[in-house]
Amino acid sequence: MLSEFLSTALLLAAVIGSGIMAERLSGGNAGIALLANTLATVGALYILIEVFGPVSGAHMNPAVSAAMSLRGELAWSMLPTYIAAQLLGAACGAWLTHAMFDLPILQLSAKVRTGQGQWIAEAVATAGLLLVVLRAPPARVSAMVAAYIGAAYWFTASTSFANPAAAFGRMLSDSFAGIAPASVPGFVIAQFAGAGIGLALHKSLGRTEPKPLTEMP
C-alpha cells in the first residue's frame, strides 16, 4: 500500500508540477507546454514503474488494479486498499506540488474537459494502456508504458489521462494539467470502459509468446 501511495503521489507531482513549470516558462505557447509536460511524465512513469514495480506492481491506476483482479493477479480483497492508496496518493501528490510552487494547497480545477470526443479518447487511451501492460515483455513494461502514454498525450483529444486516480488528483489542481470536478465522472466511466475493451482485446489476441511455425496458418 505504501508503494502504491508513493508511486501515485510522485506521478501526480510529475504531471501537475511539470504542467505548472511548463506554463510559466513557455511564454503562452501551449504546444511547448504540452511537450514539456509529456516529457516529464514519460520520464517519471519509466522510473516509477522500475522502482515500485517489484513491490506492488506500480499500478498507480484503479483501472489497471481492477483489471488485474479480474485476471486473478490481484486478490479482490486487496483491490479496495489499492484504490484507496492510489486516490490518497493522487491527492497528496497534487497538494505537495502546490506547496512546492507556493500555490494555495487546497483548490479545484476550473478546466472543463467534456464531450463525446474526450470520452472516446479516454476509452482509446485506457484500452491501449491495458494492452501494453498485458502484452509487453516483462523486461520492457516500464519503457513501453511510458512511451505509449507519451504518444497518447498527442494522439488523443483528451491528452490521455487513462487513469481514474490521475483524474481525481488533477481535479484538485487549478493548473495546466487540471480537470474540472464536473468533468471527472465522464472521464472515469470512459476509462473503466476502455479497460474492459483492453481486456477483451487482449483475450481475443491470444497468448503473447510467438507461435511455432508448425502452428502458423
Nearest to 122 by CA among 19, 193, 16: 193
Q: Which three cell numbers stand for residue 102?
A: 507556493
What is the number of domains present in the chain? Answer: 1
Which residue type is seen at 163? N
User: Is 60 within a domain?
Assistant: yes
Q: Are 60 and 48 in contact (CB under 8 A)?
A: yes
Nearest to 17 by CA among 176, 203, 182, 157: 176
> What does the chain come to in residues?
217
- The single residue listed with the C-alpha cell 504518444 is 151
Domain residues for 158?
A: 2-206
State the Cα–Cα distance between residues 37 and 121, nearest whole angstrom: 18
Tens of pLDDT along the chain (217 residues)? Answer: 999 999 999 999 999 999 999 999 999 999 999 999 999 999 999 999 999 999 999 999 999 999 999 999 999 999 999 999 999 999 999 999 999 999 999 999 999 999 999 999 999 999 999 999 999 999 999 999 999 999 999 999 999 999 999 999 999 999 999 999 999 999 999 999 999 999 999 999 987 665 554 444 4
User: Is 216 within a domain?
Assistant: no
With 0.95 as the threshold, say if the pTM is over it: no
Q: Are 91 and 13 in contact (CB under 8 A)?
A: no
User: Is 65 within a domain?
Assistant: yes
User: Is 157 within a domain?
Assistant: yes
User: Is 217 within a domain?
Assistant: no
User: Is 140 within a domain?
Assistant: yes
Q: Which three cell numbers stand for residue 119?
A: 470520452
User: Is 90 within a domain?
Assistant: yes
CB atoms within 10 A of CB 115: 13
User: Is 108 within a domain?
Assistant: yes
First-last CA distance in the chain: 46
State the Cα–Cα distance between residues 38 and 64, nearest whole angstrom: 21
**CATH code of the domain covering residue 177:** 1.20.1080.10
Which residue type is seen at 17? G
Q: Which three cell numbers stand for residue 128?
A: 491501449
